């Protein structure tokens, strides 16, 4: 356990030194909420399945964006890059166990997602008067399952990506597909029926809808268990892919 904690602390220090990662994981989601908050202000959205201020609808979606940036983009890009640089080949010669390395990365990425979420909630409340109510413990559960889902997806992608050159397009296609089809910027009810049905299986859709249901509609776990089950299914499928195709070198 002490080794895991020390490795996690070291991973955190390395993260804080990488200005580009700091921007994409912390500043990028903040820019989204400031931009959309400035554009929409107190504008209210009404339509099929939605009746709330635009910024209230968007805040949970931007939390999902932050989780995807860290869970998918940082996890997959960072691991592929370090694998290609031979970092893990050299670490294999040290007493550090590989499961400790993976565990420290998961803990550090999860901590970043928590910080992202708290930062977005604080800015939303101060700048745009957003109020998150509902069961905060259930909110944390949805956030944690979503974070694990995206991190699992990131590791699954590392097994399918062979070189760093091919990493960027594969990761970006995955990320932007989930972002634009995940009901983050607009309700999926505006999509054509066939595309709306396809978008329902995406973890970004399920996480965003579950967060909104909890903090705005006071939903309990009995109301969102199907959404949690779909995200759990993604975690299981990604773990199977990771185990089958994951490579250290």
Q: What is the pLDDT along the chain (249 residues), one digit of tens a residue?
A: 677 888 788 878 877 787 877 888 888 899 999 999 898 888 888 877 677 899 999 999 999 999 999 999 888 888 788 777 777 777 666 776 767 777 888 889 999 999 999 999 999 999 999 888 889 999 999 999 999 999 999 988 988 888 878 888 899 999 999 999 998 888 888 888 889 898 999 999 999 999 999 998 889 999 999 999 999 999 999 989 888 877 766
Q: What is the pTM of this model?
A: 0.91
- The 8-class DSSP code of residue 43 comes to P
**Considering only CA atoms, which of 94, 74, 142, 153 is closest in space to residue 114?**
142
Residues β-bridged to residue 46? 51
Look at residue 207 in the predicted model and tell me its pLDDT: 96
Domain with 153 in it: 2-245
For residue 45, the SS3 value is strand
Number of domains forming the structure of the chain: 1
With contact defined as beta carbons under 8 Å apart, do 165 and 226 qualify? no
| Tokens, residue 72 | 């998918």
- The 8-class DSSP code of residue 18 comes to -
Residue with tokens 């700091």: 22
| Longest CA–CA separation in the chain, Å | 60
């Amino acid at each position: 356990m002490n080794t895991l904690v020390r490795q996690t602390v070291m991973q955190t220090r390395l993260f804080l030194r990488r200005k580009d990662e700091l921007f994409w994981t912390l500043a990028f989601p903040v820019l989204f909420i400031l931009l959309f908050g400035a554009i929409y202000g107190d504008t209210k959205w009404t339509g099929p399945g939605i009746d709330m201020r635009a910024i209230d609808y968007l805040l949970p979606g931007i939390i999902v964006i932050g989780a995807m940036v860290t869970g998918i983009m940082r996890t997959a890009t960072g691991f592929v890059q370090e694998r290609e640089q031979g970092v893990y080949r050299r670490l294999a010669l040290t007493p550090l166990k590989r499961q400790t390395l993976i565990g420290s990365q998961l803990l550090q990425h999860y901590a970043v997602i928590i910080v992202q979420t708290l930062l977005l909630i604080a800015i939303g409340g101060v700048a745009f008067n957003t109020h998150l109510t509902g069961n905060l413990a259930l909110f944390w559960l949805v956030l944690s399952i979503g974070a694990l889902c995206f991190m699992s997806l990131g590791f699954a992608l590392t097994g399918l990506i062979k070189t760093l050159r091919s990493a960027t397009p594969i990761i970006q296609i995955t990320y932007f597909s989930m972002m634009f089809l995940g009901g983050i910027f607009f309700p999926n009810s505006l999509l054509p029926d066939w595309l709306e049905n396809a978008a329902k299986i995406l973890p970004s859709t399920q996480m965003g809808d579950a967060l909104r249901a909890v903090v705005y509609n006071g939903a309990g776990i009995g109301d969102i268990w199907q959404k949690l089950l779909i995200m759990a299914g993604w975690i299981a499928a990604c773990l199977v892919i990771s185990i089958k195709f994951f490579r250290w070198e």
